[in-house]
């Protein structure tokens, strides 16, 4: 048996991490057919235009925008879009099979205010101007629980600064996780960033996601952390 490859070293201080769209995940011929059929109509291709211009063209209107990142099969995203018909929802997913499932969920919903983008959210935010996104949500992102993998977590100080440059005053950032250490880390980062105020109060209403159910079944507490842009 060949020895396993060592874990990659953490990126240098200040280095930019960009995820690849070539994530693992088996794509059958049927899934490729769904992607080919629904992608042109319900997908969102990012081009060289500013994000706001691209979204106005895709939705045919200017409305408040909700950014849902790492959407899995898409049920929670569909519920979010259905609850906010006066908002446009951009769902961001990198995992190809999840992308297919999300497109199918959007198609079944019949909602006109929801599009799915295969993109790294950091690249998407790079193309955004102030006010292009009003609220951003991550429900149960990969927690990378081992300490040596913490540098792979999506939410870090750089992402919060990047988001703070796009979301207007009064906009929000919402993280839900079943890993207490991840929640504590993000809470501390938000406390150190002058753009954000962590809110107290009841958790936002949302469906229970499949990853959340795994955490609940394992007995892990759920944290919904919401911060408002100052």
Residues designated as active site: 142
Which of 190, 189, 63 is closest to 135 using CA atoms? 63
Residue 146, Cα to own-chain centre: how many angstroms?
A: 21
- Structure-token match 């691209």, residue found: 54
Order of all β-strands in the sheet with 88-93:
114-118, 88-93, 65-69, 135-139, 172-177, 223-229, 196-198
Strand runs labelled E in 140-198: 172-177, 196-198
Q: Please say whether the beta carbons of 167 and 173 come within 8 A.
A: yes
Residue in the structure block whose two tokens are 């929000």: 172
Cα separation of 53 and 66, whole Å? Answer: 15
């Amino acid at each position: 048996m060949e020895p396993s490859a060592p874990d990659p070293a953490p990126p240098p201080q200040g280095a930019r991490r960009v995820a690849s769209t070539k994530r693992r995940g088996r794509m059958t011929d049927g899934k490729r057919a769904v992607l080919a059929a629904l992608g042109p109509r319900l997908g969102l291709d990012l081009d060289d235009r500013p994000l706001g211009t691209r979204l106005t063209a895709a939705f045919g209107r200017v409305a408040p925008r909700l950014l849902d990142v790492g959407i899995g099969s898409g049920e929670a995203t569909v519920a979010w879009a259905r609850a906010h018909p006066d908002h446009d929802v951009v769902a961001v997913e990198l995992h190809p099979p999840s992308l297919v499932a999300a497109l199918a969920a959007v198609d079944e919903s019949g909602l006109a205010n929801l599009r799915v983008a295969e993109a790294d959210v950091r690249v998407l935010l790079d193309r955004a101007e102030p006010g292009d996104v009003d609220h951003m949500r991550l429900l149960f992102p990969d927690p990378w629980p081992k300490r040596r993998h913490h540098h792979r977590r999506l939410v870090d100080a750089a992402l919060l600064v990047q988001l703070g440059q796009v979301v207007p005053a009064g906009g929000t950032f919402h993280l839900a996780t079943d890993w207490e250490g991840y929640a504590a880390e993000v809470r501390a980062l938000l406390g150190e960033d002058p753009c954000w105020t962590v809110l107290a109060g009841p958790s936002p209403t949302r469906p229970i996601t499949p990853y959340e159910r795994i955490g609940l079944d394992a007995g892990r507490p759920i944290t919904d952390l919401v911060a408002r842009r100052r």
